[in-house]
């Protein structure tokens, strides 16, 4: 007799299903995912990813009643493959008192990190709820990860995994490393990241902050306008936008 297979889907199978669906529901693109057996588990007790599909809870409920051919069609042409972006909302049902970023604690410091006077990581606490604004640029300075008052957009291209759950986001470009992570599941919210802006490397990990060859470990920053500011004090960065005649990032001298 063959070995009995439990209902718990292995981590590598779940990741593979996320990857092939470009990290969103194959039908609508939502990043909150469940994993559907196109061939019902009761019929064939296995977790064969060729016969499974990543779906959000709402679409999962509906597709369970549809013909298998419809599921296989969605599996081959998932929503985010066409759209190229993952969209969702970071919930924050826990009351947030502070942020832990790169082993440093930030209290009443709305701008955690800025680059040439342009906030990269900032937050507002409104009645205990953390509202985040984050801009992690691609090489061309258009957003790769964009959060506006907890509304989230992640470009699906070039990602090894995007794990999105209630109050939690982890984006990985490569196996074993974290490109960006947000955890709002505790009173002290946590952010990690390792990214570059115009060739400059920035790393915020659980033990240190690493910027331009300098390492900061621990400490608490209280009631500052900005926690960590990188720039020359003379120029301000403006992100590219389609209102520009020639959209590109520019540095403009401050008066």
92-131 pLDDT, tens digit per residue, is 666 788 999 999 999 999 999 999 999 999 998 887 788 8
pLDDT in tens, 177-234: 999 999 998 889 999 999 999 999 999 999 999 998 899 999 999 999 889 999 999 9
pLDDT value at residue 2: 47
pLDDT value at residue 94: 67
Residue 144 confidence (pLDDT) above 50: yes
User: Which position has the higher pLDDT, 45 or 57?
Assistant: 57
pLDDT value at residue 1: 40
In whole numbers, what is the pLDDT of the chain averaged over residues? 91
- Give this prediction's pTM: 0.88
Kindly state the percentage of the chain with pLDDT values over 70.
96
> What are the residue ranges spanned by the domains of the chain?
11-83, 89-253
pLDDT value at residue 62: 81
Question: pLDDT-derived band of residue 153, with 50, 70 and 90 as boundaries?
Answer: very high
The residue assigned the tokens 């939502």 is: 30
Average pLDDT over residues 20-42: 91
Q: How many C-beta atoms surround the C-beta of residue 43 within 10 A? A: 8
pLDDT value at residue 231: 96
pLDDT in tens, 85-99: 999 998 766 678 899
Among 12-21, 60-69, 97-106, 229-238, which stretch is predicted with the lowest mean pLDDT? 60-69
Closest CA to 105 of 217, 221, 244: 221
Q: Which two tokens stand for residue 185?
A: 């599941």
């Amino acid at each position: 007799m063959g070995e009995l297979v439990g209902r718990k889907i292995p981590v590598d199978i779940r990741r593979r299903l996320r990857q092939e669906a470009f990290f969103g529901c194959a039908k609508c693109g939502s990043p909150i995912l469940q994993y559907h057996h196109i061939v019902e588990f009761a019929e064939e007790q296995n977790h064969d990813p060729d016969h499974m599909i990543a779906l959000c809870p709402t679409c999962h409920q509906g597709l369970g009643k549809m013909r298998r051919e419809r599921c296989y069609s969605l599996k081959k042409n998932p929503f985010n493959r066409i759209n190229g972006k993952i969209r969702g909302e970071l919930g924050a049902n826990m009351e947030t008192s502070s942020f832990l970023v790169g082993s440093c604690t930030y209290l009443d410091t709305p701008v955690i990190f800025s680059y040439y006077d342009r906030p990269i990581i900032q937050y507002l606490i409104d009645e205990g709820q953390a509202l985040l604004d984050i801009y992690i640029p691609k090489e061309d300075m258009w957003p790769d990860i964009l959060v506006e008052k907890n509304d989230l957009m992640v470009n699906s291209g070039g990602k090894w995994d995007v794990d999105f759950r209630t109050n939690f986001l982890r984006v990985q470009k490569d196996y074993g490393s974290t490109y960006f992570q947000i955890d709002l599941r505790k009173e002290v919210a946590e952010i990690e990241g390792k990214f570059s802006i115009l060739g400059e490397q920035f790393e915020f990990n659980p033990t240190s902050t690493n910027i331009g060859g300098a390492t900061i470990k621990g400490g608490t920053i209280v009631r500052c306008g900005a926690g960590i500011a990188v720039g020359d004090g003379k120029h301000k960065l403006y992100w590219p936008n389609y209102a520009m005649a020639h959209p590109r990032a520019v540095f403009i001298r401050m008066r």
